[in-house]
Amino acid sequence: MLKLLKFSKKMWWAIAVILLLLVGQAYMQIQLPYETGKILTILQDQTIGNAQRISDIWRTGLIML
């Protein structure tokens, strides 16, 4: 069992990066409909100006990234 856990440091970094990517992907699958809905709401809101609308869309888009 211990021989299986004796990876090199590079291998542990690769495993950690892959796990983080998988967790990030799962988070985005949950979060994407919510953030897309926020962008659509911002686009349809006629009470705010264009500058504020663009700012809100950029902020929401960067959160999605």
Distance between first and last Cα of the chain:
39
**Closest C-alpha to 40, from 32, 27, 21:** 32
**pTM above 0.85?**
no
30-46 residue pLDDT tens: 877 877 787 778 777 77
The answer to whether the CB of 35 falls within 8 A of the CB of 60 is: yes
* Nearest partner of 39 among 25, 59, 55, 57, judged by Cα: 57
pLDDT of residue 1: 47
